[in-house]
Amino acid sequence: MKIHKYDTVIVGAGGAGMRAAIEATKRSRTAVLTKLYPTRSHTGAAQGGMAAALANVEEDNWEWHTFDTVKGGDYLVDQDAAEILAKEAIDSVLDLEKMGLPFNRTPDGTIDQRRFGGHSRNHGEAPVRRSCYAADRTGHMILQTLYQNCVKEGVEFFNEFYVLDQLITEVDGVKKSAGVVAYELATGEIHVFQAKAVIYASGGCGKFFKVTSNAHTLTGDGQAAVYRRGLPLEDMEFFQFHPTGIWRMGILLTEGARGEGGILRNKDGERFMEKYAPVMKDLASRDVVSRSIYTEIREGRGCGPEGDHVYLDLTHLPPEQLDAKLPDITEFARTYLGIEPYTDPIPIQPTAHYAMGGIPTNVEGEVLADNTTVVPGLYAAGEVACVSVHGANRLGTNSLLDINVFGRRAGIAAAEYSATADFVELPEDPAKLVQEQVERLRTATGSERVTEIRKELQETMDANVMVFRTEQTIKTAVEKIGELRERYLNVSIQDKGKRFNTDLLEAIELGNLLDLAEVMAVSALARKESRGGHYREDYPNRDDVNFMRHTMAYREVGDDGAESIRLDYKPVVQTRYQPMERKY
């Protein structure tokens, strides 16, 4: 076991982690621990753009952007945070441009902008061009630009270091972050990083679904690490299903395709979104479009022999426009489906895409231990966190924005904290939990296999807690997850070695997914209303009287060692927008 000491430790090297690292490195001695090489992060898979009311191509302002964000999130958004997001969006985009990001340009050389779902002019009047983009590879460009600037700033990376535990020490009755424990993939060695400040920026947890746009590596490692140490997770029942994933594969096809004029059609060729969202049509918010697609499928208007998908039609758009604005997604259609998007519509279905919930933070990125108490020295930003700027449903292009605005804020706040704070003493035997976990898995002889449990988990999540949910389906999921968690205790792996043991890694990742899936299902069961991405067929309406509040889920361990989930609730911050009925 090795012990390292840094002022600031950042967990994860995607957009939020690297944006934080650029700030933190300038101000404090910083290490970035990442289970993947930095440019492998799933930020690179984001396509359509980053929202900011630059007003480069038409009238726009950050106040409209705030409103759209609040409405898009079905009023569960904390409005003070949404205001910061929309206001700081403008400088965030300009900062990236100055760092070198090659945005698409307008004829007069400024950053070009295009339409995106849920973004509107003057509080819902009509779609507005707010998304700043670089073809359909905006996330790739952001990730590359941030890495380039990390190289420039000399950011210190520990690549393929997998953080498995959050260390917390109680000082004078206050729980403080003391550091993290990481597993080095190349050698199997365990490292303790003592740090004054720790920032989690480790991404989402979509891999508990089967059809998902998420990378194999998005297994909720950060959320699980803090949750196991008794800290809460907020709004985990809210998961976004992106309307246009490649049929059966789940690979993302950007909403920018509809922003450029693409149309969703059912088996009769009908533009069905006109029925569900007369004003915004195909550019309604994602939860609305995904539900509409499944309604078409359920009512027998799906495409294909099994009627299990609909079409994204780009055939009326000029090939030059597709080549210039959507080169990557048209190539995906050719590579994976053998379809030519110039002439044929693309079969799509909703795909599990984004966790609105996560580790609760305030607007400085400080992690909360309950509804109000900050954990000194602990920060989170990006998909792993819940500020909450996305509420019950995130708008497209607001996540690339989130990682930049709140990644930067967390980086600055953490470094400023570590400039004045002292190191917190490490707990006794700090690596104990991780050593035991790794040793147990490496020597286990049980008959259960990781792959089988993961498959059953993904199938039950797809079947029971996806776009449509009921008390019955959620209960089925809770029961199944409980059974899988039992079976997980009896799991064994084949690779017993220390060097690059990805077999072991996958077993640990599965444990994280199981924990988070349970939190998600239990939180969903208790929310007896429909709001944003959480749609209950048995409670089809939003219920502001009883449920205009954030869910806070805590792990509790009884005297007998039995684990359970305790749910609590936190008020939503409302400033200027009163909840209204949501229509697009």
Partner 1 sequence: MATPTLDKAAEAGQPEPGFADSPYITVTFRIRRFNPEVSEEASWQDFQLEIDPKERVLDALHKIKWELDGSLTFRRSCAHGICGSDAMRINGRNRLACKTLIKDINPEKPITVEAIKGLTVLKDLVVDMEPFFQAYRDVMPFLITTGNEPTRERRQSAEDRERFDDTTKCILCAACTSSCPVFWNDGQYFGPAAIVNAHRFIFDSRDEGGEQRLEILNDKDGVWRCRTTFNCSEACPRGIEVTKAIQEVKRALITRRF
Active site residues: 286
Q: Within 10 Å of residue 247's Cβ, how many Cβ atoms?
A: 22
Structure tokens, 384: 């792993």
Selected from 137, 175, 442, 527, the binder of partner 1 by CB under 8 A is: 137
Shortest Å, Cβ 98 to partner 1 = 6
CA atoms within 13 A on the CB side of 463: 14
String marking each residue 37-76 x if it binds partner 1 according to CB under 8 A: x-xxxx-xx-------------------------------
Residue 310 · residue 354 · CB < 8 Å: no
Site for partner 1 in 447-506 (CB under 8 A): 449-451, 493-495, 497-503
CB neighbour list of residue 50: distance below 8 Å, 6 or more residues apart: 89, 92, 93, 96, 131, 132, 133, 138, 142, 397, 400, 401, 404
CA distance 210 to 508: 18
Q: Which is nearer to partner 1, 110 or 435 (CB)?
A: 110
Q: Which stretch binds partner 1 (CB under 8 A): 139-147, 342-350, 365-373, 510-518?
A: 139-147
The strand pairing partners of 434, in sequence order, are none
Residue 102 · residue 141 · CB < 8 Å: yes
Size of the site for partner 1 (CB under 8 A): 55
String marking each residue 210-249 x if it binds partner 1 according to CB under 8 A: -----xxx-------------------------------x
Q: Which is nearer to partner 1, 8 or 41 (CB)?
A: 41
Report if residue 251 touches partner 1, rule: CB under 8 A.
yes
Shortest Å, Cβ 246 to partner 1 = 9
Pairing outcome for strands 2-11 and 190-200: parallel
Q: Which is nearer to partner 1, 342 or 577 (CB)?
A: 342
The CA-atom distances, in angstroms, between 232 and each of 4, 158, 278, 465, 556 are 27, 28, 40, 21, 10
Structure tokens, 163: 């953080």
String marking each residue 80-119 x if it binds partner 1 according to CB under 8 A: -------------xx--xxxx-xxxx-xxxxx--------
Helix axes 398-420 and 79-99, enclosed angle (nearest 10): 90
CB neighbour list of residue 446: distance below 8 Å, 6 or more residues apart: 489, 490, 491, 492
Shortest Å, Cβ 219 to partner 1 = 11
Selected from 13, 134, 352, 392, the binder of partner 1 by CB under 8 A is: 134
Q: Which is nearer to partner 1, 446 or 571 (CB)?
A: 446
Residue 14 · residue 380 · CB < 8 Å: no
String marking each residue 154-193 x if it binds partner 1 according to CB under 8 A: --------------------------------x-------
Q: DSSP state, 201?
A: -
The total number of residues written for the chain in this structure: 584
Shortest Å, Cβ 384 to partner 1 = 16
Report if residue 122 touches partner 1, rule: CB under 8 A.
no
Q: What are phi and psi for residue 307, nearest 5 degrees? A: 55, 35
Q: Which is nearer to partner 1, 337 or 433 (CB)?
A: 337
Report if residue 558 touches partner 1, rule: CB under 8 A.
no
Q: Which is nearer to partner 1, 236 or 450 (CB)?
A: 450
Q: Which is nearer to partner 1, 94 or 374 (CB)?
A: 94
Residue 50 · residue 401 · CB < 8 Å: yes
Q: Which stretch binds partner 1 (CB under 8 A): 135-143, 226-234, 254-262, 405-413?
A: 135-143
Report if residue 298 touches partner 1, rule: CB under 8 A.
no
Q: Categorise residue 511: left if φ over 0, alpha if ψ from -120 to 50, beta otherwise.
A: alpha
Q: Which stretch binds partner 1 (CB under 8 A): 31-39, 369-377, 415-423, 471-479?
A: 31-39
Q: Which is nearer to partner 1, 253 or 548 (CB)?
A: 253
Q: Which is nearer to partner 1, 255 or 296 (CB)?
A: 255
CA distance 482 to 493: 21
Report if residue 141 touches partner 1, rule: CB under 8 A.
yes
The CA-atom distances, in angstroms, between 99 and each of 94, 107, 121, 142, 149 are 9, 22, 29, 10, 7
Query: What DSSP element (H or E) covers 462?
Result: helix 450-464
Q: Within 10 Å of residue 89's Cβ, how many Cβ atoms?
A: 27
Structure tokens, 496: 């017993």
What residue ranges bind partner 1 (CB under 8 A)?
36-37, 39-42, 44-45, 93-94, 97-100, 102-105, 107-111, 134, 137, 140-141, 144, 148-149, 151-152, 186, 215-217, 249, 251, 328, 332, 335-336, 449-451, 493-495, 497-503
